[in-house]
């Protein structure tokens, strides 16, 4: 090891869900939306000659569209390169206490990665035996709170009054509610941002807007919170949102009808899939997301995962305590889910 390596930040990198390059794959492993983005996105015109210019650092067109959509002032909206960028920047901006930040033991697997990388102390809070977040567990002194709602990979949604209870108990730190999946049936905490200056709600275009490939995430909070976040962002990289993101993201927001339709389709398929899984002997956690988290009475999850893969069906399996009996199954099209259920009928 050269001496220069002594001062290198050494991390155990996050391993993203696999993106296998096989044909005829049924890809139910990364919670992508099975439907394409809005026709307004597909037909949007990008003037590539404009690429010679820097994009608007404030991404004003996109920020204004998001602000109008949610009925808030644009000073209350922050955009980033996917919600991962927004969340990582939020960790960096808001979690600078010596006290541990809190998040569930079973949750989005990036939270501990960011905490480790940024040297932020953290403590995981066990979900209850039904895999639910208990607000009373978040009432001890801490350096900040973050949780997804609905939670991932459980899919379980926390009622708004419980979210409020957590915020009320943590007025001295920033509370981040990661609403990546909320459009599929959860209750949003956005209205609470009017009341609480320490609440940040984070959203993404990757799930309900079928635009994982464009990398857009955003956060909404009170102006002061957004200003702190923007200051850190501008100190890091002023121009993160490229021209195609700004144009195509704005086009997506403009098509509410298509958005509602395809979200409703995913939700209907989720309900149908849940029923079919239950009939096959699965326990399925009650999901308000675009995936279900399911455990079979007899067959070990890992075996199902491996057998499915051999049939070209890719699921997500988390080989960790409390989750190693479960499979996380992204909701695809009806046809994809039918193929998956057919496979299960053979296998279990």
How far is the CA of 141 from the CAs of 52, 134, 225, 331, in angstroms?
50, 16, 21, 38
Whichever of 52 and 297 has its CB closer to its own copies, that residue is 52
Listed in sequence order, the residues at least 6 apart from 42 whose beta carbon sits closer than 8 Å to its beta carbon are 36
In angstroms, what is the minimal distance from the CB of 22 to its own copies? 13
Q: Does residue 173 contact residue 91 with C-beta atoms inside 8 Å?
A: no
In angstroms, what is the minimal distance from the CB of 197 to its own copies? 6
In angstroms, what is the minimal distance from the CB of 212 to its own copies? 4
In angstroms, what is the minimal distance from the CB of 116 to its own copies? 7
Between CA 237 and CA 310 the distance in angstroms is 43
Between CA 120 and CA 98 the distance in angstroms is 8
Whichever of 109 and 280 has its CB closer to its own copies, that residue is 109
In angstroms, what is the minimal distance from the CB of 5 to its own copies? 8
In angstroms, what is the minimal distance from the CB of 56 to its own copies? 6
Whichever of 95 and 131 has its CB closer to its own copies, that residue is 95
**Helix 223-236 / helix 82-94 crossing angle, nearest 10 deg:** 100
Whichever of 156 and 247 has its CB closer to its own copies, that residue is 247
Listed in sequence order, the residues at least 6 apart from 47 whose beta carbon sits closer than 8 Å to its beta carbon are none
In angstroms, what is the minimal distance from the CB of 233 to its own copies? 8
In angstroms, what is the minimal distance from the CB of 275 to its own copies? 25
How far is the CA of 277 from the CAs of 151, 185, 329, in angstroms?
20, 20, 11
> Which stretch of DSSP H or E encloses residue 306?
helix 301-310
Whichever of 208 and 295 has its CB closer to its own copies, that residue is 208
Whichever of 95 and 317 has its CB closer to its own copies, that residue is 95
Whichever of 19 and 306 has its CB closer to its own copies, that residue is 19
In angstroms, what is the minimal distance from the CB of 45 to its own copies? 11
Give me the residue label for tokens 């890091």.
Answer: 236
Query: 3-state DSSP call for residue 261?
Result: helix
Whichever of 30 and 64 has its CB closer to its own copies, that residue is 30
Phi–psi pair at 345, nearest 5 degrees: -60, -40
Name the region of 185 (left: φ>0; alpha: ψ -120 to 50; beta: rest).
Answer: left
Whichever of 144 and 153 has its CB closer to its own copies, that residue is 144
Of 21, 23, 28, nearest to 335 by C-alpha is 28
- The order of strands in the sheet holding 122-125 is 77-80, 217-220, 199-204, 175-178, 145-148, 101-104, 122-125
């Amino acid at each position: 090891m050269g001496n220069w390596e002594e001062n290198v930040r050494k991390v155990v990198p996050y391993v993203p869900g696999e993106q296998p390059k096989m044909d005829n794959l049924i890809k139910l492993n990364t919670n992508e939306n099975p439907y394409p983005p809005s026709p307004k996105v597909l037909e949007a015109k990008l003037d590539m000659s404009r690429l010679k210019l820097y994009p608007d650092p404030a991404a004003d067109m996109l920020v204004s569209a998001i602000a109008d959509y949610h009925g808030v002032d644009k000073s209350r909206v922050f955009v980033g390169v996917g919600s991962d960028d927004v969340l990582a920047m939020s960790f960096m901006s808001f979690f600078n206490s010596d006290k541990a930040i809190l998040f569930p033991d079973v949750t989005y697997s990036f939270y501990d990665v960011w905490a480790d990388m940024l040297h932020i102390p953290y403590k995981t809070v066990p979900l209850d035996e039904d895999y639910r977040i208990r607000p009373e567990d978040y009432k001890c002194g801490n350096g900040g709170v973050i949780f997804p709602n609905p939670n991932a990979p459980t899919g379980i949604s926390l009622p708004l009054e419980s979210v409020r209870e957590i915020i009320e108990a943590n007025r001295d730190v920033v509370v981040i509610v990661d609403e990546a999946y909320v459009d599929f049936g959860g209750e949003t905490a956005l209205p609470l941002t009017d009341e609480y200056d320490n609440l940040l709600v984070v959203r993404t275009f990757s799930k309900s807007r079928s635009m994982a490939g464009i990398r857009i995430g955003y956060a909404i909070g009170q102006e002061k919170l957004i200003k702190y976040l923007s200051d850190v962002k501008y100190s890091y990289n002023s121009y993160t949102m490229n021209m195609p993101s700004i144009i195509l993201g704005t086009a997506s927001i403009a098509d509410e009808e298509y958005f509602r339709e395809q979200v409703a389709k995913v939700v209907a398929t989720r309900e149908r899939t849940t029923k079919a899984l239950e009939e096959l002997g699965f326990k399925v956690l009650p999901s308000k997301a675009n995936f279900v988290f399911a455990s079979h009475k007899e067959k070990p999850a890992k075996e199902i995962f491996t057998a499915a893969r051999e049939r070209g069906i890719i699921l997500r399996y988390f080989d960790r305590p409390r989750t190693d009996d479960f499979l996380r199954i992204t909701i695809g099209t009806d046809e994809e889910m039918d193929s998956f259920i057919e496979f299960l009928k053979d296998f279990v």
